[in-house]
Amino acid sequence: MSEATTGKQPVITPVRIVIALCLVAPFVAMLWVGSYAKTEPLLAGIPFFYWYQMLWVLVSTALTVVAYKLWQRDQRARHTRNGGEGR
């Protein structure tokens, strides 16, 4: 059963805050266009505007993997704390 159906309030933990930051960071970085809307510095002849965005593809992939692993660990810990009851 989910937390909503059992009447329990969702728990905000430091791990869940880190997970949220990992998932929100790429959106903030890409939506703040003014921070990367420039040509210099060039990287192998590619303007900053393009290589910065391509770098964020890799960074956001890594951050998503970190968030997923942290979520799995958090869920296993909660499952263990609750004595193996439900999910």
In the predicted structure, residue 15 carries a pLDDT above the cut 60: yes
CA distance 72 to 41: 39
Q: What is the pLDDT of residues 39-59, one digit of tens each?
A: 999 999 999 999 999 999 999
Domain boundaries, the chain: 10-80
Question: Nearest CA to 15 among 85, 66, 59, 86?
Answer: 66
**Residue 17's pLDDT is what?**
96
Structure-token match 């004595």, residue found: 83
